[in-house]
Amino acid sequence: MNPAAPAPLRPRPGRRLTSPWTPWLLLAPYVLLSGVFFVYPFFSAMRLAFYQTAGPHARAWVGLDNFRFILGDRDFRTALVNTVTFALANALILLPLSLGLALLLNSGRDRLKGFFRLVFFSPNVVGQVFVGIIFSVIFVPRYGLMNRFLQDLVGWGLETKWLQTPAMVMPAIIIANLWLYAGFNMVYFLAALQSVDESQVEAARIDGAGPLQVFWHVTLPAIKPVAVFVFVVSTISSFQLFELPFGLLQGNNGNFKGPANSGYTIVGYLYDAAYGLGDLGLAAAVGWTLAFVMLTVSVAQLKLSGTLGDDGGSST
């Protein structure tokens, strides 16, 4: 026996737990907590979606009427369009930007990497509500930083009413979101880039591949599992957008939906159903509809990227 090796673990003296109830006893805390906080609310919300509620105690069975109402409601369609617009902007602007930042950092000097990683990631630490409130000040017409910056840069924009003009509200939300999440997603991409096999990159270069070809044929396939993961998770969180427009638009006459519902999102609609109209049944139905939409979109994304059914291993 090696004297340096630790001594083998010996069963401690005392009563052994041999009762048939032992596994159940050990599982009990988990089962209890899951039951109370996950399973019961899950089925309760499912049941609630078929009721109409008002006030503290009153409820009435309405069958599928909540779903019928949602699908026919113009406000829900507006919220859906806004949410999808935001999700598309996320996919087309935010993720490429995050990847670009990650590529820049990955090719930079090691000493500065940590510093810039911190700089880009730090907005995420403060959270959506705080960022919303900060940007509601930044977007103030005439005196706000954004308009001053635009005026100095291109000689236009001093009077732009970002949060009062329906067409400008979604761009404002997207800009605030870029600042908030570009660094967050960058960290994922950076981690993936750092695990790319350097020998393959080197081999491609020796074979005469340019930087773009290396990126397209070596780097991108290597980071595909992470990219797909970030894409799906980012899309799911886009569909859950709520706190950012809430913080951003709340100061605008106290209406978090923005003018003409231009900042209204599906979760905003859900919140409004629950706390604005006091109808928890309608809110539950919105929740299930949202879950269905997110599931559909996520499956479609996985299918399109060829990841569905994959074991998640490297495809290089």
Partner 1 sequence: MNFPFGKAPFFILLVALASGLGVFFTHRNYGQNRPTLVMLTAARLHADIYLRKLPEFERRHNVTVDVQVMDQFALRTRLQAAFATGGEVPDVVEMPQYASYFLRGPTKDVGLLDLTDWVKDNKLQERMVASRFSMWQRRGVVFGLPHDVHPVMLAYRADIVEDELKIDVSKIKTWDDFVALARPIVTTNRFALELSNVGSYWLSMLMLQRGIGLFNAQGEVTFDQPEIVDVVVWYLQQLLGPQRIAYDLGTNQPLWRGMRDGVVLFFFAPDWRTRSIEQYAPDLQGKMKLMPLPAWTPGGRRTSTWGATGIGATKGSRHPDLAKKLMEFLYVEQTDQGKSWMELHILPPVHDAWKLPAFDTPFPYFRNQPIMRMYANLADDVPPAYASPYTPKAEDKLNEAFLNCAAYFKAHGEDGLREFVRAEFKRQANDVRAAIARNVLMQQ
| Binding region for partner 1 (CB under 8 A) | 52-60, 62, 65, 69, 74-75, 140-143, 161, 164-166, 250, 253, 255, 257, 259-261, 272, 275-279
Nearest distance from C-beta of residue 300 to partner 1, angstroms: 32
Q: Residue 164: name the closest of 129, 131, 136, 145 by CA.
A: 136
Nearest distance from C-beta of residue 228 to partner 1, angstroms: 31
Handedness of CA 128, 130, 134, 136 (dihedral sign): positive
Nearest distance from C-beta of residue 193 to partner 1, angstroms: 29
Q: CB nearer to partner 1: give 225 or 245.
A: 245
Alpha-carbon gap, residue 250 to 136, rounded angstroms = 9
Q: CB nearer to partner 1: give 76 or 231.
A: 76
Q: CB nearer to partner 1: give 54 or 302.
A: 54
Q: What's the burial of 22, exposed, middle or buried (CB within 10 Å: 0-12/13-18/19+)?
A: exposed
Q: Which residues contact 262 (CB under 8 A, 6 or more apart)?
A: 82, 166, 167, 169, 170
N residues, the chain: 316
Nearest distance from C-beta of residue 41 to partner 1, angstroms: 14
DSSP labels for 6-29?
A: PPPP-PPSS-----TTHHHHHHHH
Nearest distance from C-beta of residue 179 to partner 1, angstroms: 24
Q: CB nearer to partner 1: give 48 or 232.
A: 48
Q: CB nearer to partner 1: give 141 or 221.
A: 141
Q: CB nearer to partner 1: give 53 or 82.
A: 53
Q: What's the burial of 263, exposed, middle or buried (CB within 10 Å: 0-12/13-18/19+)?
A: buried
No. of helices (H) and no. of strands (E), the chain:
16, 2
Nearest distance from C-beta of residue 309 to partner 1, angstroms: 36
